[in-house]
């Protein structure tokens, strides 16, 4: 690296380790390319130099040079014991997104390993998505796929997120809250799943700071005020335990107090519904010994010195957490009569607790590519499940929900009859257990025994339960199971079975819908044609029958199928604007078709043809802008505006009809922003389906005026909604988003329209 560049970066206060790499990189500049690639320091120096040049002229919101962010990320990765390739990726993780450099150029300059890491953390900002939710979901899909190839990808991403959170104060209020919420929901649980406690607790505290600022400041102040008294009490307990451990002949490597981080205190206050002054165990004593045996001997010493609290002992050595965390936890009554938490572990367990998966390469000389842990490891079962569902969960919100579900901090540990340990999400039932064992075990589950006793399938499992599933060949899933299962895996597989088992019914429904639009004449031959097979393939289905099944189940909309059919029939590209409900000549009454043309002259009314007259929108068919409409002269209420095709028009005398249309020529300040529309949704009956639908409507800014749900045992739920819509284009978007949900069987607009 040139001395000019080194001098120009003095204002960055480069860390000593990086300066050393830069000096070595500059000294080796005369060597051949092959020799230089073998030098770790050279790789790091080259990555910094490349990133510095590309980010020149770029600044962060704080006013700092942008390169300060990659330097900080690389430093975090170095502290975690990251390889030179990881540190290089820390310098380069933003260059593809923020500059004109391609991922292929990264590989050419720094090799395939660095390319893979950079590509895994690069956001998909150059691709246009329909919504922020879809963009976020797609980013996570790509990130998890990259993790499957090399788990270090997420460590780079976590370092990137941690530094961004440390400098979040320079962002706008909305950006701070959005980043903090995403960090709490996704990245902090990810750090926990990987066992990187050092990053996990800081991400949680920083998220807490911006999401609940008042509670954060209050707890921070309380903790600060009592720090001196707490440290004095911990020092007394530490001295006493160190002396007793020495008397017992236990080689104690370290014994110290560890304050609990602020968010964990807040969680405890919320969980136990207590005020701060009622929370006593604000710190924990950590004892580090040499061997597993000494851990249990030290536990005996602790219980002899202090009175243990019943129910507060946990053995994570014999039964480690999925993230490889091991330790003995016990709660005792301290010297002052207040509860005290004590953790006992070996030095290796402590390294894993602090660095998680990073301890694999930081503290063990394994060499080669063994640091590239993949999903074949048993501890990454949760990641394998996410990858299995990637291609099947098409709805963005549903995928994000499954991600959050699988990143829960705590698990329930149950046993098979053979003694194998099965980790499940809290609140999991026998059905969740059955599907965790195997899909077919869940599909044919007929009963369950827990600890040797027959129990309902909805029984919530507890730590230590021994679960046995009884299967029968003729048994099959029930829709009622969706009301109590906990895990995303079980929900997804129940729905998949339901879709497959009702395939014939769904095919018939899809055929009926398509035949209604395309006509009965020659319809059978049409389904067998190459053109329809092309339509199926354009809709991502292997066969026409699969297309009909998807149409019948609601995986794909009729409008989309018709659009693809028009493309194939006409040999044209997709049109820019496609109507949700194609107008059908047969549905329009003769009186309406014969009505004289209307003027399209701009006027001051939202509806052309009623200027200066009293009018109202008909409640029977609720017309909205963008739809063909007709006016009817009424007695005492002026002109009633109907959708063309409204069944109420058939009995209206021709003389009472008034040709009208929506005024799209000018912006009308007096025009109402929204119009009432009634829709009916047919969905699988499960807990939370209405909440998920309302959440999607809320994301699109749709106001819901009323909602009514009708259910019957073993039957789909009927949900009637009254919503406020701007125009037909927005209604099309609403239908599209709701139909993406796997629970939705059908959705239609209510109104007296001749079909």
* Domain membership flag for residue 413: yes
Q: Smallest Cα–Cα separation from 213: which of 182, 176, 188, 183?
A: 176
Residue 525 CB-density burial (10 A; 0-12 exposed, 13-18 middle, 19+ buried): exposed
Q: Are 294 and 250 in contact (CB under 8 A)?
A: yes
335-371: burial string, b at 16+ Cβ within 10 Å, e else = eeeeebbbbbbbeebbbbbbbbbbbbbbeeeeeeeeb
97 in catalytic set: yes
Q: Are 36 and 28 in contact (CB under 8 A)?
A: yes
442/566 same-domain check: no
Beta strand 639-643 pairing with 615-617: parallel
Among 59-68, 301-310, 479-488, name the one with the lowest average pLDDT. Answer: 479-488
Q: Of 568 and 575, which is predicted with more confidence?
A: 568
334/345 same-domain check: yes
Per-residue pLDDT tens over the stretch 337-360: 778 889 999 988 888 887 776 555
Can you give the pLDDT at residue 600? 39
Highest mean pLDDT, choosing among 94-108, 288-302, 727-741: 288-302
Write down which residue in 570, 603, 625 finishes a domain: 570
Residue 545: how many other CB atoms lie within 10 Å:
17
Write down which residue in 570, 598, 613 finishes a domain: 570
Whether the pLDDT of residue 294 is over 90: the answer is: yes
605/719 same-domain check: no
Domain of 331: which CATH number? Answer: 3.30.460.10
Put residue 157 in one of left, alpha, beta given phi > 0 → left and psi -120 to 50 → alpha. Answer: alpha
598/681 same-domain check: no
Helix (H, G, I), strand (E, B) or coil at 391: coil
* Domain membership flag for residue 540: yes
Whether the pLDDT of residue 377 is over 70: the answer is: no
Assigned token pair, 707 = 């909602």
290/400 same-domain check: no
Can you give the pLDDT at residue 463? 79
Per-residue pLDDT tens over the stretch 447-477: 999 988 999 999 999 877 889 999 998 888 8
Backbone angles phi, psi at 179, to 5 degrees: -65, -40
704-709's contacts with Cβ under 8 Å and 24+ in sequence apart are 705/676
- As a whole number of angstroms, the distance between CA 581 and CA 621 comes to 14
* Domain membership flag for residue 418: yes
Q: How far is CA 531 from CA 193, 288, 516, 536, 578, in A?
A: 49, 71, 18, 9, 20
Q: How far apart are the first and last CA of the chain?
A: 74
Whether the pLDDT of residue 578 is over 50: the answer is: no
Q: pLDDT band for 583, please (50, 70, 90 cuts).
A: very low
Give percent of the chain above pLDDT 70: 77
Mean pLDDT, residues 578-602 taken together: 40
422/523 same-domain check: no
383/497 same-domain check: yes
Beta strand 314-315 pairing with 615-617: unpaired
Can you give the pLDDT at residue 29? 58
Out of 98, 411, 537, 727, the active site residue is 98
Whether the pLDDT of residue 375 is over 90: the answer is: no
Can you give the pLDDT at residue 269? 81
Q: Are 547 and 541 in contact (CB under 8 A)?
A: yes
Q: What DSSP assignment string belongs to 5-18? A: HHHHTGGG---HHH
Highest mean pLDDT, choosing among 32-46, 272-286, 723-737: 723-737
**pLDDT averaged over every residue in the chain:** 77
Dihedral of the CA atoms 635, 637, 643, 644 (nearest 10)? 30
* Domain membership flag for residue 406: yes
Per-residue pLDDT tens over the stretch 593-608: 444 444 434 445 678 8
21/106 same-domain check: yes
Mean pLDDT, residues 317-329 taken together: 83
325/248 same-domain check: yes
**Any residues with CB less than 8 A from the CB of 172 and at least 6 apart, and which?**
none
Q: Of 240 and 635, which is predicted with more confidence?
A: 240
* Domain membership flag for residue 691: yes
Can you give the pLDDT at residue 576? 37
Helix (H, G, I), strand (E, B) or coil at 431: helix
Q: What DSSP assignment string belongs to 72-120? A: HHHHHHHHTT--HHHHHHHHHTTHHHHSS--HHHHHHHH-HHHHHHHHH
619/555 same-domain check: no
Out of 40, 79, 97, 138, the active site residue is 97
- As a whole number of angstroms, the distance between CA 88 and CA 43 comes to 7
Q: pLDDT band for 385, please (50, 70, 90 cuts).
A: low
The DSSP secondary-structure symbol of 187 reads I
Can you give the pLDDT at residue 146? 58
- As a whole number of angstroms, the distance between CA 647 and CA 624 comes to 17
Residue 263: how many other CB atoms lie within 10 Å:
25
Residue 639: how many other CB atoms lie within 10 Å:
22
Can you give the pLDDT at residue 99? 85
* Domain membership flag for residue 175: no
**Any residues with CB less than 8 A from the CB of 706 and at least 6 apart, and which?**
720, 721, 722
The DSSP secondary-structure symbol of 466 reads B
* Domain membership flag for residue 612: yes
Q: pLDDT band for 289, please (50, 70, 90 cuts).
A: very high
520/597 same-domain check: no
Write down which residue in 335, 362, 389 finishes a domain: 362
- As a whole number of angstroms, the distance between CA 416 and CA 425 comes to 16
| Number of domains into which the chain is organized | 6
Domain of 87: which CATH number? Answer: 1.10.3210.10
- The verdict on pTM exceeding 0.85 is no
**Any residues with CB less than 8 A from the CB of 269 and at least 6 apart, and which?**
219, 275, 276, 279
What domain range includes position 512?
A: 503-570
* Domain membership flag for residue 400: yes
422/512 same-domain check: no
Can you give the pLDDT at residue 664? 65
Q: How far is CA 69 from CA 72, 173, 512, in A?
A: 5, 21, 58
392 in catalytic set: no
Domain of 706: which CATH number? Answer: 3.30.70.260
- As a whole number of angstroms, the distance between CA 752 and CA 755 comes to 9
């Amino acid at each position: 690296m040139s001395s000019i560049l080194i001098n120009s970066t003095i204002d960055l206060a480069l860390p000593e380790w990086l300066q050393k790499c830069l000096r070595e990189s500059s000294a080796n500049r005369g060597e051949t390319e092959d020799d230089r690639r073998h030098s770790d320091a050279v790789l790091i120096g080259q990555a910094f130099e490349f990133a510095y040049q590309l980010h020149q002229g770029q600044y962060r919101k704080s006013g700092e040079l942008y390169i300060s962010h990659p330097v900080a990320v690389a430093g975090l990765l170095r502290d975690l014991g990251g390889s030179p390739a990881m540190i290089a990726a820390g310098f380069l993780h933003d260059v593809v997104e923020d500059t004109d450099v391609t991922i292929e150029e990264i590989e050419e300059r720094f090799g395939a390993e660095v390319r893979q890491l950079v590509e895994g953390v690069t956001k998909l900002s150059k691709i246009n998505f329909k919504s922020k939710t879809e963009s976020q979901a797609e980013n996570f899909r790509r990130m998890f796929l990259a993790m499957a190839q090399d788990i270090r990808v997420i460590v780079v991403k976590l370092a990137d997120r941690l530094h961004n959170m440390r400098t979040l104060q320079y962002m706008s209020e909305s950006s701070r809250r959005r980043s903090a919420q995403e960090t709490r929901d996704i990245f902090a649980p990810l750090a926990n799943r990987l066992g990187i406690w050092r990053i996990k607790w800081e991400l949680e505290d920083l998220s807490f700071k911006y999401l609940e600022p008042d509670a954060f400041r209050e707890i921070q102040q309380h903790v600060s005020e009592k720090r001196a008294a707490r440290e004095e009490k911990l020092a007394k307990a530490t001295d006493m335990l160190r002396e007793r451990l020495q008397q017992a002949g236990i080689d104690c490597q370290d014994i110290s107090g560890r304050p609990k981080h602020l968010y964990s205190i807040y969680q405890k206050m919320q969980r136990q519904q207590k005020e701060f002054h009622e929370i006593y165990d604000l710190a924990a004593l950590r004892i580090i010994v040499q061997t597993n045996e000494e851990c249990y001997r030290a536990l005996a010493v602790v219980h002899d010195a202090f009175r243990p609290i019943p129910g507060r002992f946990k053995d994570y050595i014999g039964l480690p957490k999925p993230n490889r965390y091991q330790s003995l936890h016990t709660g005792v009554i301290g010297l002052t009569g207040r509860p005290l938490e004590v953790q006992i572990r070996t030095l290796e367990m402590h390294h894993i607790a602090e660095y998680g998966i990073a301890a694999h390469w930081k503290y063990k000389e394994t060499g080669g590519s063994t640091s590239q842990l993949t999903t074949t490891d048993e501890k990454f079962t949760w990641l394998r499940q996410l990858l299995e569902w990637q291609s099947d969960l098409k709805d963005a919100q549903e995928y994000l929900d499954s991600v959050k579900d699988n990143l829960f901090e705590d698990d329930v540990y149950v046993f098979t009859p053979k003694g194998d340990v099965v980790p499940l999400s809290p609140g999991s039932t026998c059905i969740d257990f059955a599907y965790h064992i195997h899909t077919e075990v869940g599909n044919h589950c007929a009963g369950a025994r827990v600890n040797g006793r027959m129990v309902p399938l909805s029984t919530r499992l507890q730590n230590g339960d021994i679960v046995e599933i009884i299967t029968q060949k003729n048994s099959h899933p029930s829709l009622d199971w969706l009301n109590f299962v906990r895990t995303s895996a079980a929900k997804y597989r129940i729905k998949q079975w339901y879709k497959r088992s009702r395939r014939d019914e769904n095919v018939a429904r899809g055929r009926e819908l398509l035949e209604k639009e395309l006509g009965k004449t020659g319809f059978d031959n049409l389904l067998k044609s190459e053109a329809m097979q092309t339509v199926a393939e354009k809709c991502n289905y292997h066969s026409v029958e699969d297309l009909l099944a998807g149409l019948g189940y609601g995986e794909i909309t009729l409008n989309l199928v018709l659009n693809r059919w028009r493309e194939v029939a006409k040999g044209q590209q997709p049109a820019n604007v496609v109507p949700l409900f194609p107008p059908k000549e047969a549905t329009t009454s003769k009186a309406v078709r014969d009505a004289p043309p209307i003027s399209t002259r701009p006027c001051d009314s939202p509806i052309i043809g009623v200027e200066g007259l009293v009018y109202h929108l008909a409640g029977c068919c609720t017309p909205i802008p963008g739809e063909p409409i007709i006016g009817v002269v009424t007695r005492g209420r002026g002109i009633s505006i109907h959708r063309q095709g409204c069944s109420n028009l058939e009995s209206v005398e021709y003389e009472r009809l008034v040709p009208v249309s929506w005024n799209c020529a000018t912006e009308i300040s007096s025009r109402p922003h929204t119009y009432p529309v009634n829709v009916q949704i047919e969905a699988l009956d499960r807990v939370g389906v209405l909440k998920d639908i309302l959440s999607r409507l809320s994301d699109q800014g749709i106001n819901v005026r009323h909602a009514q749900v009708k259910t019957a045992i073993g039957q789909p739920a009927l949900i009637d909604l009254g919503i406020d819509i701007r125009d037909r284009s927005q209604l099309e978007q609403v239908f599209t988003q709701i139909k993406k949900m796997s629970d939705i069987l059908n959705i239609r607009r209510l109104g007296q329209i001749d079909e």
